[in-house]
Amino acid sequence: MLPISFYSEPMERCDCFLQGITNMTKLHNIFCLALLLIVLCLLGCEQDTRVSIDGNNPPKFKLSGSGKVFFIRVDKNPLPESEMTKDEAGIWQIEPDESMRRATISRYPEIKYGEVPPGFIQKVPKNGDPPPGLEEGQEYILLAPTYNANSAYLGFKIKDGKSVELPRN
């Protein structure tokens, strides 16, 4: 049988090794917790409103973001100054009804120009009349003023029978 002193040195090394593993596990847990907190903060943060267009005529618009919209309006560009502050203006305007008003923009369906999607009410033109067709070469702007996030707009025109997004100035 070997003397006890022979076993003590390897046991000390083993204790140091186990202590090192324990310290690494603690650091890993702290790192994971910090990462989780960062992800939760980012998910809870406001996401700006964005609008994309599908390239068809009439175009379909897709909105995304974390806010809620007051209305969605299409108007000729440049905007007539008399219409800039009106509640109801443009060539076509819809707004969410009470059920859709609680939903964030990212839950909205695609919105095709001239067709009122479920959960929305048409305000312009009045009486549910269809909006005018979009004219070749004419520039338009889609406005989506929002709350709980930054608003969005999208300039576009009809070129060769397709909707084309205009560069932002």
Amino acid in the structure at residue 38: I
Q: What is the pLDDT of residues 80-105, one digit of tens each?
A: 777 666 778 899 999 999 999 989 99
**What are the C-alpha distances in Å from 14 to residues 4, 5, 11, 19, 20?**
16, 15, 5, 8, 10
- pLDDT, one tens digit per residue, over 145-169 is 999 999 999 999 999 999 999 998 7
Tokens of 80: 């007539």
Rounded distance between C-alpha atoms, residue 107 and residue 28, angstroms = 37
Domain boundaries defined on the chain: 1-45, 50-165
pLDDT digits (tens, 9 = 90+) for 138-151: 999 999 999 999 99
Rounded Cα distance, 127 and 153, in Å:
26
pLDDT of residue 24 exceeding 80: no
The predicted-structure confidence for 26-71, as pLDDT tens digits, reads as follows: 767 666 666 666 555 555 577 899 999 999 999 999 999 999 999 9
Q: Which residue has the higher pLDDT, 44 or 110?
A: 110
Q: Which of 152, 166, 146 is nearest to 71 (CA)?
A: 146
Give yes or no for residue 72 having a pLDDT over 70.
yes
Residue with tokens 């305007």: 93
